[in-house]
Amino acid sequence: LHKSARKRRMCAFVLSVVTSTSSRVSRTILTSAISFASVPAKSATASRSFTTSQHARFALQRQCAANVGTAPASSLRPAFKPNNASFGLGRLSSSNAGVSIARHSAVLSEDVFTQQMAVTHDSFEVVKKDIVDEYGAYCTLYRHKQTGAEILSVSTDDDNKVFGITFRTPPSDSTGVPHILEHSVLCGSKKFPTKDPFVELIQGSLNTFLNAFTYPDRTCYPVASQNKKDFYNLVNVYLDAVLNPRCVNDPMVLAQEGWHLELENKEDPLTYKGVVYNEMKGVYSSSDSLLTRESMRSLFPDTTYGVDSGGDPTVIPDLTFEQFAGFHSKFYHPANSRIFFYGDDPVEDRLQILDEYLSEFDASPQSKPDSEVAWQKKRFTEPQYQKHPYPAGADQPATHMICVNWLLNEEPISAYEELAWALLDHLLVGTSSSTLYRELMESGLGESITGGGLSDELLQGTFSMGLKGVQPENVEKVEALVLKVLEKVADEGFAEDDIAASMNTVEFSLREFNTGSFPKGLSFMLGAMSKWLYEKSPTEALKFEEPLVELKASIAADGSKVFQDLIRKKLLENNHRVTVEMIPSKTLEAEELKEEKDRLEAIKEKLSVEEIENIIETTKELKRLQLAEDPPEAVATIPALQLDDLDKKTREYPIEIEENAFGSGSKVVRHELGSTSGIAYVDFGVDISSVPLSEVPILSVLTRLMMEAGTSDLSNVELRRQIGTHTGGIGVEMLKVPIESEGAEEFEVADGTRIMTKIFIKGKVTSDKTDELFGLMKTVLTDTNIGDAQKKVIEILKETRSSKESQIQGAGHSYANMRIQSRYSHSGAIDEMLSGVTSLQTTKDLLKLAEEDWPSFLARLDDVRKSILNDSFRSGVILNLTGDKKVLTDIEPSVESFLGSLPGSAGGEKLPNFDSIEHPWVVQSKEMNSLTIEDEGFIVPTQVSYVGKGGRLYEPGEKVSGAALVASRYLRSTYMWDTIRVVGGAYGGMCNFDSKGGLFTFLSYRDPNLASTLDAYDAAADALASSAEQLAQRPELLSKAIIGMVGELDKALSPDQKGWVSLVRHLGGESPETRQKRRDQILNTSADDFRDFASRLKNLKDASVAVVSSKGGFEAAAEAGKDMKLTELV
């Protein structure tokens, strides 16, 4: 989950924006901190919880609407589609005639599913049976007779099985007790008495999802796996964790996960420590998070949504152990739970395992009434205006943030209204050309959008919209503009074509429902929970056919009036509106640190000698417990897989390569899959090696313009309308892939000079609309209107600058990692130049040029486009096609026509083979960059640190065994977890090993420490060497490490992801045979491999440091002897 936003767009830290190249709205959630107990995909981050800005509900309507128009890699699709599902294009009518997305044919028969729906158990009563036809989901709602717990059992032919248990947990204050409890229940239980079963599962499971979420009013504990044995192991551990946790009897768990006073020597100052405490200090360092918090608090002054379920760092230390344990006792009874199963496992097994746990509890009729979420009444007689400070850096521009927020409803709304709001949201803010979004950005009043529009995953919906980067003199104009645009739309309405395009986009996503590698079943669960949690039908929350037909009929009859009435009634005539202004303060960070210091000094002054000694002893005891190993007999209680349970073969995906397809001079790559429901996924790749490295930042602007500037014949609005009307979305992204050098041996570390660079225009479409998709792809590549794009370019660059500044503050570990890697290879230097710290200054320079010398900027844009459309253009084209057999057959004429229409000729110049020569960017990087190795610190306004250290582990030409991946993963899920997170109190601790480049980095996330973290990194090699000896004596631990690594290799992928992964593998030059050999090496990992890796780590070559922290953090580090070259960034 800590990968780039491109790969994991659902996960964005500290309530920062979630955007796509084709849908530019910043989806900042207005529901306080939704905390994820995260297990990152590639870095087993020692962090459990983090906040996400994408809509947490993930209901089918809202999840799809929030992601419409995104590139296929990050779009959403369901397991099934209804027969003859269709959606109208162009002019809307009440009929469903139009393009069809065929229903996916089930592997199992409907009779089998019907039988699963009919399963009974003596301990459960059947409440309701239902089929969600939209997704072929066969559902039975059960109630446990003894406890009253409700269970939704969903049977499908999806082997990615999902379980989740959710409790309604509305807090009454901002101590963060729901969030802290979410962390804490996973720290041991009655049946599994280890100190952290969660980590045991990380280390040795094939899970496809293992996490927990804290919402403002609920806490969810979901797991998923494609392996049935592994799945039920996970279910067992999670059920015991939430129902019988150790934490309610052991104050040390609250001390570790929540907060505690720490003191090692009586003369030292007292400090606060705790994982959630430090996590939330990081959250409250973010201006976006503070804006979200204040907006939420202001709209809900009387209910649970007005407090912070994640925890306010100034309030968290008020939480007592009695309150903590009492919260669990009150809300974690089975009667207050909603339990969910999904997949192809037998319903009998589901009910049996549940009864084993639930039968230990009696009825609790008061549990549900006590957890009821109260409605916030619209009691404002006039709109409110509030001002609050946010921390700003010394060199940061003194710009403001303005967000206008509405509470939409004070009673339940129908499915029809929900869908109407989803469509209205898309019309207003869904894309860069949507009415409200466009007017705000083109006004020049601010740098980027904030608020993100509709948020409806809680009991009551909200709508929020505003701007960041607003100059003081423009503050009042922002609110006025928002209201003016809404008034205009309420009076004049939307164009019929715009409504049709938005309807097509939303409906395409509803029917496709592509969740990527995110389990479909989890999307079902969270969607069902949006109604189930509030005593409504869980399955009704997943259905959209009837409200869709009703909405189409209303639009056919009344047109835009449907939306004009909503705007007028729910927004313009709604006085329950609060405009929140965030004002920059260059002293706020220091003031908050002083306030904390004064508070702790006052506490210490009142302590007796005995009390001080008790704190010192408790500090020692906590650290002793944290570092102590679990007894083998306790570890043995955690259910585990065996190596024999693993698939020994690597997963390969179909691929067919056709060079010089149809005599066009271009390459076509096809991936024929079992079924893609009539959808073709198209990735149109164009070589960009001819673009000078110095101009690649200009290329990044050009790729944005492709989607946002229009063409010679189409305005931006008209282009977006065409995309929405005819396709499921188009996006543009840049790809840089390391490739195998000619003559290189298997597993050999590369020197970073052999790379392939392309931009990909990615889209999805039903097969009968392929001509339209190809036409749009060609148009945006060759005919983007750059001549009149100065205003748009300035808008893009301001937004980019604002986004990068927020990202550096909220995800500094990724920038530290890029900076470190840039010192050891030119491939890394290129990455850092384009996406790292350097890119922030580049963005500022380009913005200045665009504002002050547009002709020069325009000339560079034009030169970049000419560099792409050169004489060798066709030889650099790759058309990557993913679909089922019928789709690929049906689109073949369109493919031939498209390739023949591209610029250039089949006989044009040929690109060189970049596996045999240095890439031009590498050659230019060598001229620009000497790869200086130095320790650097980057100053930003923050209360936490992001600490990185790394170096070269393998030299170019050396061979890396797959066993090294096992050792690296083991290190981050054991030592890094225990030392950086558990003992150190950081929100995350991880290490990354690049086996192709030979580089290794340590990283921490939202870390209260700096100097001691660097010391911990230095001790990691010895710790791993010690672990090697233990693994030699305990083969079951070695097996667990191997299983966990295989689990990372075998994640579930959606059809479009399979096609993309297969293409990238092909481009990189790695063969299936090599992948199989690596898997064999992983499966045969030994303790000796761990010893070898530890030895290399001990001698990490030319190690260097990169840290993102505050000025005070660096001053303290310098006192501890950790000196760095400092640069003030924000």
Catalytic sites, residue numbers:
182, 257
**CB of 520 within 8 A of CB of 158?**
yes
Question: How far apart, in whole angstroms, are the C-alpha atoms of residue 1083 and residue 966?
Answer: 9
> Do the beta carbons of residue 824 and residue 952 sit within 8 Å?
yes
Q: Give 132's strand partners.
A: 137
Helix (H, G, I), strand (E, B) or coil at 751: coil
Paired with 732 in beta bridges are 761
Q: How far apart are CA 959 and CA 995, in angstroms?
A: 9
Tokens representing 516 are: 């990527």
How many other C-beta atoms lie within 10 A of the C-beta of residue 957? 13
Sheet-wide strand order for 448-455:
384-391, 577-585, 400-407, 462-470, 448-455
DSSP string, 25-41: -----SSS--EE----S
| 378 Cα distance to chain centroid | 33
Q: Is residue 687 within 8 Å of 1065, Cβ to Cβ?
A: no
In the chain, the amino acid numbered 69 is: G
Round to whole Å and give the CA distance between 606 and 652: 66
| Per-residue CA distances from 940 to 293, 581, 632 (Å) | 21, 22, 45
Under a CB-based contact definition with an 8 Å cutoff, are residues 188 and 197 in contact?
yes
Tokens 């749009």 correspond to: 776
CB 155 within 8 A of CB 138: yes
What is the rounded distance in angstroms from the CA atom of residue 721 to the CA atom of residue 499? 9
Are the C-beta atoms of residues 192 and 635 closer than 8 Å to each other? no
Helix (H, G, I), strand (E, B) or coil at 499: helix
Sign of CA dihedral 427, 433, 437, 442: negative
CA–CA distance, 701 with 729 (Å, rounded to integer): 20
Going by their DSSP bridges, the two strands 161-168 and 218-225 should be labelled as antiparallel
For the beta carbon of residue 265, count every other beta carbon within 10 angstroms: 8
Question: How far, in Å, CA of 875 to CA of 895, rounded?
Answer: 16
Angle between helices 1035-1049 and 963-973 (to 10 degrees): 100
Q: Residue 260's beta-bridge partner residues?
A: 273
List Cα–Cα distances, 307 to 220, 299, 799, 959, 1123, in angstroms: 19, 11, 30, 54, 41
d(CA 548, CA 566): 17
